[in-house]
Copies of this chain bind each other. A is one copy, B any other.
Amino acid sequence: MSPAEVQSRQEEPSSGATPEGGATLAEIARAAGVSAPTVSKVLNGRADVAPATRSRVEELLRRHGYRRRRGGMQQSQLLDLVFHELESAWAMEVIRGVENVARDEGLSLVLSESAGRLSPGQTWVDGVLARRPAGVILVLSDLDAAQRAQLTSRDIPFVVMDPAGDPGGVVPSIGATNWQGGLAATRHLVELGHRRIGVIGGPASMMCSRARIDGYRAALETAGLTVDPELIKRGNFHHESGYAIGLELLRLPDRPTAIFTGNDLQALGVYEAARELGLRIPEDLSVVGFDDLPLARWVGPPLTTVRQPLTEMAEAAARLVLDLGRDRRPAATRVELATSLVVRSSTAPPSR
């Protein structure tokens, strides 16, 4: 929803029978040549409508900018949270934030995974239409244009947390200052005296990962250091990726004395690669992670990392989507919460 759309919702009367969109349900039904209850079934994601009818009705809803009114409906008891991948302690931090807000608001949390695809499937969308949550929070996951239109016509608000793609100004979203985080991590290493600093990113399709690497570059360039493309690698956000790319970097003839990783799990993979090669951390290799998951404090040595306030970000996303559902205009529809460097014991001046 663009700021302009949010604005227009503000200006509408908050109750009454006036249709929100340009057409009433009866008009949509007439145009589609079906009964009003059939349109209602489509709006509610019911399965007992022929596919051809369903897509004709969806098309008309979209074309007429139909918007269901929430006023007369029973207050929703649910809040939907969708992950791209339901994995690792990372997801746990996010779940905890959304659960905090859900509990405060007397809502129950519905959890889904789009199972490795970056967009949730149509089955999921049908489920959302049927259960009518108070809002939808998508984590590292995005809806396509048709899915967005479906939710909008049912007046189900949605926000994206830490979007994988570039949601533009259209979709409200919550992120973190990834570029600043990359800058702070790399500056810390430069100030310790490191000159050959490797970096391991996440997938290039994820904007958060690109921003971190750009911050790394900026730190080197503003310090007057050369950016060596050989030291810039990309993997995925898993431990295995940190291990494999860590080995690759540490086996270079002129190996880096420090590595800034895309997240804490990758950093632990680099720990393992260093152990395997007999390199000590931080004496022979400094490592900086990203996220500050609880385990960053527990590993040996405790990990220097860029803290991303995941729980707070999830809380902000949940509050934003509920505000949108209540026709309260949020202060901003794109918010980035601050990252901060947490220095522990995995970084030290280089020994050579």
Contact = CB atoms under 8 A, between A and B. Distances in A.
Given A108-B131, A115-B103, A298 B87 contact: no
A86 B78 contact: no
A111 to B, nearest CB: 5
A143 B114 CA distance: 32
B99 A92 contact: no
A149 B103 CA distance: 24
A15 interface: no
Interface residues of A, number: 38
Nearest to A98: B111
A214 B103 CA distance: 38
A1 to B, nearest CB: 24
A239 to B, nearest CB: 6
Contacts of A295: 89, 268, 295, 298
A266 to B, nearest CB: 11
A106 interface: yes
Contacts of A123: 106
Can you tell how many copies of this chain the complex includes? 2
B88 A91 contact: no
A298 B275 contact: no
Contacts of A127: 77, 106, 108
Residue among A109, A239, A265 having the largest count of chain B Cβ atoms under 10 Å:
A109
Contact of A294 (B77, B88, B294): B88
Contacts of A87: 92, 96
Contact of A300 (B96, B99, B110, B299): B299
A95 interface: yes
A118 interface: no
Given A77-B130, A88-B92, A96-B86, A108 B110 contact: yes
Nearest to A300: B300
Given A77-B127, A110-B109, A89 B89 contact: yes
Contacts of A239: 294, 297-298
A111 B130 contact: no
A292 interface: no
Residue among A111, A130, A131, A301 having the largest count of chain B Cβ atoms under 10 Å:
A111
List 4 tightest A-B contacts by C-beta distance, closest first: A268-B298, A109-B111, A111-B111, A89-B89
